[in-house]
Structure 1
Amino acid sequence: MINPNILLILAGLAFQESPSNPQRHTFASQQMGATCKVVLFGSEAPACKQAAQAAFDRIAELNNIMSDYDAQSELRKLCAQAGEGPVKVSKDLLTVLVRSQEIFQLSDGGFDPTISPVIKLWRRARKSIQLPDAEELRGALALVGFQKVEIDKGKGTVRLALKGMQIDLGGIAKGYAADEALKVLQAKGFASALVVLGGDIAVGAPPPKEKGWKIGIAPVLEEGDASDRYLVLSHCAVSTSGDTEQYVEIAGKRYSHLVDPKTGIGLTRRVAATVVARRGIDADALTKVACILPPEISLKKIALVPGASCRITYLAEKGLELIESPGFPPLQGKKAGK
């Protein structure tokens, strides 16, 4: 889970309910292992509730397809056939795997969902407070590499070339789900809508009489660091990633839950990133690129995605450093204490 201090939702806090229509309606549900919020503006409460439920249902449907925890998910069934012939997959799974492949190539392997076997070793390491066994890690790394995933878009099939390969879509699926949930709301006539799924947000048209949704962003790497600065966004998506909460300290060294696909080692440098993009599927995956690759290289890679920009905060020898894309939306408000 992303520390709520890194990306706070201010959307709608400035709006006061009034007799005039449409009014702001907020709904919440647990989806994909995270809190999901839907905020929309409408004049009829029952219709708003029905639309929000339809959005939640769409996310649940996608979780059934892409979960790496559910043994009955379509993704897990695909992985169970690794090393065998091509497998016909659903349109949703194909869409996410194709985009995963594209971002894998764009990032020179900085984003790689086939890292799942390594991630599982680190999940165990966080529980045992012991580094992964070196031999096990080498074996897991031998299965990593999205170039080993064979996708035939025309036939709608996917093949994992090596037996034992596994895919973890945790770095991209929530962004796609936020996109899809927003589409559901828009299809039901709710243009002014926002979907929050963990650290991933998709926004539609601005709230009534506003320029955009207010999305609070605090570039924190330490507990207690805060900010009241925010972005004003519409018709786009924003995602954040960092290690404020998910990490483990072993022998006095801090290891992030974010793992470098090339080394198989959890990041030891402190970094947090926020990406704004046209689609959640891109923003979600690109935050991982921003954290895994060196900051300057990350910005160059992210600039290759039309409409995407990034803000990276990292801890250097001289202290906290900040780097951002030239096109990153301007921050509003002011830093805390200033």
Structure 2
Amino acid sequence: MFNIGSAFLHTVAFLLWIICLPSAFCGDEKVERFEFSEIAMGVRARIVVYASSEEEARTACKAAFDRIAELENIMSDYRPTSELMRLCASAGAAPVKVSPELLNILERSAEMSRRSDGAFDVTIGPMVRLWRKARQSKVLPSCEEIEAARKLVGWHNIEINPETRMVRLAVPGMQLDLGGIAKGYACDEALRVIRNLGISRALVEMGGDIAVGDPPPGKTGWRIEVANVAKAEHERTFTTNSGVRWEFKSTGQGQKSLVIDGCSNVGISSSGDTEQFIEIDGKRYSHIVDPRSGLGLTNRIAVTIVARDCTTSDSLATTVSVLGEKKGLQFIESFDGVSAYIRRLR
């Protein structure tokens, strides 16, 4: 369910395709397009804004990158001093008071876990660590190792008191991994910061997750391109409930990219096993681990989700990858305003 090599990197790399003039008039005000990028959460984070001046754009984007860095210090499972890792260190002991941000993402995670019956589970940390090791050693985890990790996994064992912001991990040795939701949450937060500084036409991209605000000037929405999503041997399924338009664009040599048009004030996320995987003894295992079995996925699936925000699209993309096409589509139908593209190898 989560990345073995990097807790914040999805499988499908996004290419952004924005067809618009570098400057345009918004009402009576002329705005220009500005783009900035930094490395954050293990990927290149990119922000595009339409602003009246470079100073306004730089100020807003700096504040957004600062917010992303703040969230990384809270939610990283690679930094021993992060708030998340300090909470994990207290597993089995007394409750710990957490920040509003960590409380919020744990509550959102618990809701996705409840609705998916455990297909999404941020307590998957012990399993993720096993598969990170397997990726390096090219040796599968033993049945005993997987079973030992499974005993430490279970979203019901996170006890949350929203009123006091106290959180307890009930089982000693529990480890949390927010790799299936944190980047989406960070994109949403960065977009919120930019909007609060007076810029509504903006896009934030981090790996396989994108949050967009109001459309570019003169456009009905942002136009997003997802690279190399379709070949003849792929079976594809669409569901559209969010008002966006899906189309394919030929990129040559039998490859096609997916274009999502009309995106406005939504989140877009991709997840799957088509790029990041390990092959051991002739069998291919995804970087996404099923928290119910403790095994890397073998179903050769890739998912793109459009939802009301990027926190939702990020966690849904991971969940649908684990559930598979049939159950995943049924699960998506329980959410309002969600569209999905699913492809699998025949």
Q: Tell me if TM exceeds 0.5.
A: yes
The residue that corresponds to 2:85 in the other structure is: 76
Task: Call closer, same or farther: CA 1:18–1:41 in 2, change over 3 Å.
Answer: closer
Task: Call closer, same or farther: CA 1:233–1:97 in 2, change over 3 Å.
Answer: same
1:162: Cα distance to partner? 0.4
For 1:273, which of 279, 291, 303 is the aligned residue?
A: 303
| 1:285-296 alignment, distance < 5 Å | 285-296=315-326
For 1:112, which of 121, 137, 140 is the aligned residue?
A: 121
Unaligned runs of 5+ in 1: 320-338
| 1:1-338 alignment, distance < 5 Å | 1-3=9-11, 7-10=14-17, 12=18, 14-18=19-23, 21-218=30-227, 219-220=229-230, 225-227=255-257, 229-315=259-345, 319=346
Write the distance in 1 (CA, Å) between the matches of 2:10 and 2:340: 17
The residue that corresponds to 2:5 in the other structure is: none
CA contact (8 A) 1:2 1:245 kept: no
Task: Call closer, same or farther: CA 1:166–1:197 in 2, change over 3 Å.
Answer: same
Deviation readout 1:256-312 (Å, 9 max, x if unpaired): 011111110101110000111111111100001110003121122222222222221
CA contact (8 A) 2:266 2:308 kept: yes
Write the distance in 2 (CA, Å) between the matches of 1:183 and 1:306: 22
CA contact (8 A) 2:33 2:51 kept: yes
Write the distance in 1 (CA, Å) between the matches of 2:146 and 2:12: 32
Identical columns (%): 47
SS at match of 1:227: strand
Give the AA of the match of 1:54. A
SS at match of 1:22: strand
Write the distance in 2 (CA, Å) between the matches of 1:261 and 1:158: 21
* Count of matched residue positions in the alignment of Structure 1 and Structure 2: 313
Q: Which shifted more, 184-193 or 289-298?
A: 289-298
Aligned-residue RMSD, C-alpha: 1.7
Structure with more contact order per residue of length (Cα contacts < 8 Å, sep ≥ 6)? 2
Write the distance in 1 (CA, Å) between the matches of 2:22 and 2:130: 49
Greater per-residue strand proportion: 2
Task: Call closer, same or farther: CA 1:193–1:118 in 2, change over 3 Å.
Answer: same
Unaligned runs of 5+ in 2: 1-8, 235-252
Write the distance in 2 (CA, Å) between the matches of 1:237 and 1:115: 24
1:135: Cα distance to partner? 1.1
Give the AA of the match of 1:15. C
Deviation readout 1:94-124 (Å, 9 max, x if unpaired): 0000010000010011101111100100000
Write the distance in 1 (CA, Å) between the matches of 2:208 and 2:257: 17
Write the distance in 2 (CA, Å) between the matches of 1:145 and 1:228: 35
Write the distance in 2 (CA, Å) between the matches of 1:9 and 1:77: 36
The residue that corresponds to 1:335 in the other structure is: none
What TM-score, normalized to structure 1? 0.89
Task: Call closer, same or farther: CA 1:141–1:213 in 2, change over 3 Å.
Answer: same
1:182: Cα distance to partner? 0.2
1:15: Cα distance to partner? 1.9
CA contact (8 A) 2:124 2:153 kept: yes
The residue that corresponds to 1:323 in the other structure is: none
Give the AA of the match of 1:104. S
1:153: Cα distance to partner? 0.8
CA contact (8 A) 2:24 2:217 kept: no
Deviation readout 1:168-217 (Å, 9 max, x if unpaired): 00100000000000001100111100000111110000000100000113
Deviation readout 1:203-253 (Å, 9 max, x if unpaired): 000000100000113424899733263332001111000122211000000
CA contact (8 A) 1:2 1:244 kept: no
